[in-house]
Amino acid sequence: MTKFLKIVATIVFCLIWGQLQHGCQQGARASGSGAGYALMNIFGLVLLIAGIVGIWKYNPNKGNQDDNQKLDKS
């Protein structure tokens, strides 16, 4: 993926994550569970970090380049 596509994917992911996190917080607040509210905040933060790292570390051509180099040598 190009840097532009990674930036767009990161923005879209953050927007979707924000809506999901908001909904989860509202549900935890409505149920009156303080522990549930705290857990949703922690889970949401982990999901955000994992998603952004996943987007920026993802390289779909990594394996293909190795395979092509092996074919060229033989």
pLDDT of residue 23: 79
Q: Residue 71: which pLDDT band, with cuts at 50, 70 and 90?
A: low
pLDDT of residue 67: 52
Tell whether the model's pLDDT for residue 66 goes beyond 60: no
Tokens of 51: 């998603």
pLDDT of residue 20: 81
Task: Report the candidate in 48, 38, 39, 41 with the shortest Cα–Cα distance to residue 17.
Answer: 48
Task: Report the candidate in 73, 70, 67, 24 with the shortest Cα–Cα distance to residue 47.
Answer: 24
pLDDT tens digits along 2-42: 888 888 888 888 888 888 878 777 777 777 767 777 777 78
Tell whether the model's pLDDT for residue 70 goes beyond 60: no
In the chain, domain spans: 14-51
